Amino acid sequence: MSENKKSAVSFLQMVASGNVREAFKTYTAPGFFHHNPYFKGDAESIIPAMEENAENNLEKSFEVLRAIEEGETVAVHSYVKQNQEDLGAVLVHIFRFEGERIVEMWDVGQVIPENSPNENGAF
């Protein structure tokens, strides 16, 4: 696995486990920005929300299914459950790197429905 893939995966694992500030300190570049439509686009706006999510979901599980890299871009496809009873969600995080640091992030998610007609499942 390339260094940028390792960094993207490690960043997400750290965030999911509640080590949000350390993840940002270790892996993001100054001027980092993101495209989550629910928050202002800077790190200072999304970090508290990520910390709150980790604090409120102590039983969260996060599983990376695959990481794909093309040039300066890494996409991580994952499965997250906020607690044991949760059916979970499919997530894709897309990171743009400059050198070895994350400078930009997109995140998209799809909640797994209880009764899906798709016989292939979410994964």
- The CATH number given to whatever domain includes residue 30 is 3.10.450.50
Give, for 94, the enclosing helix (H) or strand (E): strand 89-98
Q: How far apart are CA 18 and CA 75, in angstroms?
A: 21
Q: Is residue 123 part of a domain?
A: no
43 falls within a domain: yes
Domain containing 64 equals 3-111
Domains: count for the chain: 1
Domain assignment present for residue 20? The answer is yes
Q: Is residue 119 part of a domain?
A: no
What is the model's pTM?
0.95
Mean pLDDT, contiguous 10-residue spans, the chain (123 residues): 96 97 98 96 97 95 97 98 95 98 97 93 90
Q: Tell me if 38 is assigned to some domain.
A: yes
CA 77 and chain centroid, separation: 9
